[in-house]
Every structure is written in C-alpha cells, then in structure tokens.
Structure 1
Amino acid sequence: MDKFKGKRILVTGGCQGIGRGIVTELWRQGANVVALSNQPENLRKLENEYPSVEVASVDLRDWDKTREVVDSLGVFDGVVNCAGVAIIEPFLESKPENFDFTMDFVKAILNVSQIVAKKMIDNKIKGSIVNISSQASLAALKDHVVYCGSKGAIDAMTRVMALELGPHGIRVNTVNPTVVMTELGRKVWADPAKSSAMLSKIPLGRFGEVHEVVHGVLFLLSDDASMISGVQMPIDGGFLAT
C-alpha cells in the first residue's frame, strides 16, 4: 500500500518499540519518515536497515535544542509523539525528580507539536497529530501514580490541541494501549505472577502486539480518519470496558 506516499511524517521515540514499528510501517506505506530520538546507536541501526528513513538525534527534555532541531527538519504532514518513559513506584514513595523527568516528555509533546503545527498552518497543510497515551490515563494502576498522571495530561492536552488546531484543518488524537509486547514488554511481563492480574482484567485475555498499536496510529494519521479529532482511542482488548 502507498496510502502515505508523498507524506512527510515525524515520529519521536522512533528507533525502538512502538515508535520503531510506526516508522517502519509508515516507510512501507510510502511515507517520507523522520525518526527523532536521543539514542544514537539505535538510530544508526534503523538507518542501516532503512537507508531512506531520515534520522535526527536530540534530547527532547532540552526545550531550546529540540526547537532548533525540529525546526531544521522542515515541514511535515503529520507527527507521532511516541517518546516517553515509565517510572513505576508507589504513591507514597514517588520522588519529585521522577515526576519532573516523566513530565519533561509531556512538555516535549507541546514543544514538538507547536513547531510542526505552526508550519502546517503556514503551508495550509491539513495535517494530523497522534500522541501516544495509555490505558493508564483512564484507569488507576497500582504503583503508576506518576505514569498515570503523565498520560492523563497527554489526553487533556490532546483535547485542547484538537479544539485550537481544528479550525486550521489539523486533527489531534491519542491512542491508549494496554500492555504491549515490545521487546522490553515481553521481558517485564514474562513472569505469570506479575502478568496474571493484568491479564485477568482484559476480556480478550492477552496483551497487545506492536503491530496492533501501529495500525491504530496509522488509521488516525490517515485520511480514513478525516472526521476524527480530539478522541482517545483505547487499544486494550476491552480493559477499559470492565
């Protein structure tokens, strides 16, 4: 398929896990993709495997440097804000430095999206922004107070972005996955003692796969979702329905 042929898409956190899956599937569907990350080694691996994928390295926590780098990359038809972090600790033990570190990645969504959206408006591009959130934005998860808070913030920001950018023809949405079987996810959730409680709350009885999240993201990026904006789309096997 060439659904994204001629489209230029930026993906933050694009060199591993879900982000890498999004980058490679967009590439397969004809997009000109730029993967942005602060992991030079993983970016090199991605570039070696997919030479036509453009890569850029920056620490998204650095507001000014991020603006400089993203601005230098030019104009985009879409952006996927996938970069993030998960620090798991109980509410009573949550540390301020971990809160700040996590929220820096939420702030990066504001930063990156501002730059991209302004250029969309200047170039009269009816673009699409997809922010990667989580089921944790909509349900309480034990020991996830900072993580849940960060994803709740992403959902709220997305709704405001959709409201303010909609008049320019720019759509903004989130996907809200359950546990996803990335390479790291398989290691973290391999222990049945850990996974059984979460699995028991998912009606489909399994965790998500990377390609299932990728397909949801690409749908929201595409013209197939031309009337969808400001929504949170669970990809959770029914977790939020229980």
Structure 2
Amino acid sequence: MEFEGKSVIVTGAGKGIGRVVSRVMARRGASIIGMSLTQEEMAGLTDETGARCIAADFSDTDKVRAAMKEAGTADYLVNCAGINVLESVLDMTDRGVDAVLNINLRAPIVVAQEFARARVAAGGGGAIVNISSIAGHRGFAEHVAYAASKAGLEGATRVMAKELGQHGIRVVALAPTITMTELAADAWSDPVKSEPMMVRHPVQRFAEPEDVARAVAMLLSDDAGMVTGSVLAVDGGFLAV
C-alpha cells in the first residue's frame, strides 16, 4: 500500500495500458481519477478500482482543460491516452496526422500543464509519467505520425522535467515495446507478422500490460526520487540489440 493517501490521474483509463495502470495503482493504495473518451469505455472501472471517472475528448483542448479542472489536484499523473492511424509517408492524410498528433502529443502536454499548475498552487511535489513507445526510437512502416508524436512527447518530457523540477515535480517517459492489450493481441496474432518482431526481443516475448503498469508504479514511487527527464524502455531489450 505504498501509495495510500495519494491520488493519481490516469488518462486512457478505459482500456489497454491505462486500465491496467489504474488497477495496479489502486491495489497499491492510490485513489484513481480515470479519464477516457466516454463513460461507457470506463464501465466497471469504479467497481474494479474505486475510480472517479471523467469523460474527456482528448482531441479537443477546451474539453481536456475542463476535464482536468473537474479532476482537481492530484499527486500523480499518468498520460496513457493515445491512438494510431496506420498511414505511409506517401499516403498519409491531413486528417490522420492531425488526429494522432492532437491526441498523442498536444493533449498530454495540455494535461500535464493543468496538472502541474494545480501542483504548484498546492505547494509543489508530485510526478508525471508520459507513456511513449519504442516507435519514437525506431522506424516502423506506416507509423510516421505515431512515431513523430511519441518522439515529440519524449522531447516535451525533458523540457517539463527541466522547468518543473524547481517545484519538486518529476517528469519521466516510459517507452514500451508491443504490449499485448486486446487490440494488440488481435493485430499480432499472426506468427508470420509477429515472429520477425519477436526475435528482436532478447526476452523472447512481447510486453504484457502488467509489465508496463508495474514500471509506471516504480517511476511514481519514492524509490525513483532522483529519476526525472529520463526515458525508461520497457522493451525486453529490443532497443539494446
């Protein structure tokens, strides 16, 4: 119960990594403020974690700011919300690029800004974890907008760490490899597609959402008190070889 008495805002809490982060943090004592596009996406989250759920359209800055105002001051923030639109450089569309960059890059920056303003007003302290991806470090086909959004988020993380450190706020990014959410399990179930990627992981497996969530908890904990401005790869060694 290392986070007992602490609260955490988790964006993208309705599914995937965000939902599992909510569960792990709740098991460790934190109060959860979950955000997702609709209340329907977060169905059952309150029963699972005791979360207070807030619907937020991450493509709309005004709605994001309103949702953060409703959330109020929290001790921690985990920016999990994200999308991908698979388009090649030659075929990419303005609509696809705008959608990915708005949700994956602009929204987490705005969420972090509102979180940090509230923390500073409360006297400082706290921590932010931004969920990035190994796609921000390696070039994957049809991921041009996604890669740009994640590389940009890591750049923003470093600036946030520099500027917010004086207020006692740590900011780190976490870059998972392929993580076997329900969506990813469907996408990578074909061995013809998955095996060439799998062999590039020294641990010989993809990540599970629980792997990522536990790493998030570690970065939020006091054990990581000197960790800020860093990018932690939770990738089974993919980027090392």
TM range, smaller chain: over 0.9
Query: After superposition, what is the alpha-carbon deviation per residue over 1:166-202, rounded to whole angstroms, capped at 9, x for unaligned?
Result: 1111000011000011111111100011111211211
Residue 109 of structure 2 is aligned to residue 110 of structure 1: yes
After superposing the two structures, state which structure 1 stretch, 178-187 or 61-70, moved more: 61-70
Where in structure 1 are there 5+ consecutive unaligned residues?
none
Q: Which residue of 2 aligns with 1:63?
A: 61
1:230 is the counterpart of 2:215: no
Partner residue, 1:34 = 33
Give yes or no for the alignment of 1:24 onto 2:20.
no
CA RMSD across the alignment: 1.0
Residue 158 (structure 1) shift: 0.4
In the alignment, what sits opposite 2:137? 138
1:141 alignment partner, SS class: coil
1:63 and 1:146 mapped to 2: Cα distance?
19
Q: What is the match of residue 220 of structure 1? A: 219
| Cα contact 2:39–2:53 (8 A) shared by 1 | no
Q: In 2, distance between residues paired with 1:142 and 1:233? A: 23
- 1:115-130 mapped onto 2 (5 Å cutoff): 115-130=114-129
SS in 1 for 2:3: coil
Q: Distance in 1 between matches of 2:84 and 2:191?
A: 21
Aligned amino acid, residue 233 of structure 2: P
CA contact (8 A) 1:208 1:236 kept: yes
Identify the residue that residue 89 of structure 2 maps to in structure 1.
91
Structure 2 residue runs without a partner (length 5+): none
**What TM-score, normalized by structure 2, do the two folds share?**
0.97
What pairs up with 1:155-170 in 2 under 5 angstroms? 155-170=154-169
Q: Which residue of 1 aligns with 2:170?
A: 171
Which residue of structure 2 lines up, in the alignment, with residue 197 of structure 1? 196
Matched with 2:181 is 182
Q: What is the TM-score when the length of structure 1 is the normalising length?
A: 0.96
1:46 corresponds to 2:45: yes
TM-superposed CA distance for 1:39, in Å, is: 2.8
SS for the counterpart of 2:90 is helix
**Structure 1 residue 162 displacement after superposition:** 0.4
3-state DSSP of counterpart to 1:149: helix
The AA in structure 1 aligned to 2:135 is A
Aligned residues: 240
Q: Within 1, Cα distance between the matches of 2:220 and 2:48? A: 24
Render the CA deviation track for 1:195-231: whole Å, top value 9, x for unaligned. 1121121121110111110011111111110000000
Letter in structure 2 aligned against 1:46: L
For the residues of structure 2 that align with 1:193 and 1:87, how far apart are their CA atoms?
22
For 2:64 and 2:180, locate their aligned partners in 1 and report how far apart those are by CA, in whole Å. Answer: 29
- Runs of 4 or more, structure 1, over 2 Å off, are 47-50
CA distance in 2, matches of 1:14, 1:93: 31
Structure 2 CA distance, aligned partners of 1:176 and 1:99?
Answer: 21
Look up the equivalent residue of 1:101 and give its one-letter code.
A
Q: Distance in 2 between matches of 1:229 and 1:48?
A: 33
Q: Deviations over 1:113-152 (max 9, x none)?
A: 1111011111113100000000111111122111111110
8 Å CA contact retained: 1:77, 1:125: no
- 1:44 Cα shift? 2.2
1:217/1:49 CA distance change after superposition, 3 Å: closer
